[in-house]
Amino acid sequence: MALNERDIYNRLNEVFRDVFDDDSITVNASTTADDIEDWDSMEHINLIGAVEDEFGVRFKMGEVSGMKNVGEMAQIIAARGKK
């Protein structure tokens, strides 16, 4: 069953809120690390792991370093997400 975009973003919001311990975070396709105060290289690693666990996907190293925004992350999840 394919994941729809709204479900992906709802679940991404929960993951971001949990990783960054900030219930006010709401992400969209254009959200970048510049938009979230504590999103640095260390938190990026934690975030990627949490997103992989939530959606049952594994990002390739090139995808992780090449993602420019949350929209690109959501596209990969939509293409490969299993749950």
What one-letter code names the amino acid at 40? Answer: D
Work out the mean pLDDT of the chain and round it to a whole number.
Answer: 93
For the stretch 55-68, pLDDT in tens is 999 999 999 988 99
Predicted confidence (pLDDT) per residue in 26-43, tens digit: 999 999 999 999 999 899
Residue type, 65: S
pLDDT for position 3: 81
Alpha helices in 1-83 (DSSP H): 5-20, 41-55, 61-66, 70-80
Integer CA distances (angstroms), 32 to 1, 24, 77, in order: 28, 16, 17
In this prediction the pTM is 0.92
**8-19 average pLDDT score:** 98
Domains of the chain, CATH where assigned: 5-80 (1.10.1200.10)
What's the Cα-to-Cα distance from 82 to each of 22, 28, 47, 64, rounded to whole Å? 27, 21, 18, 19
Give the model's pLDDT for residue 81.
72
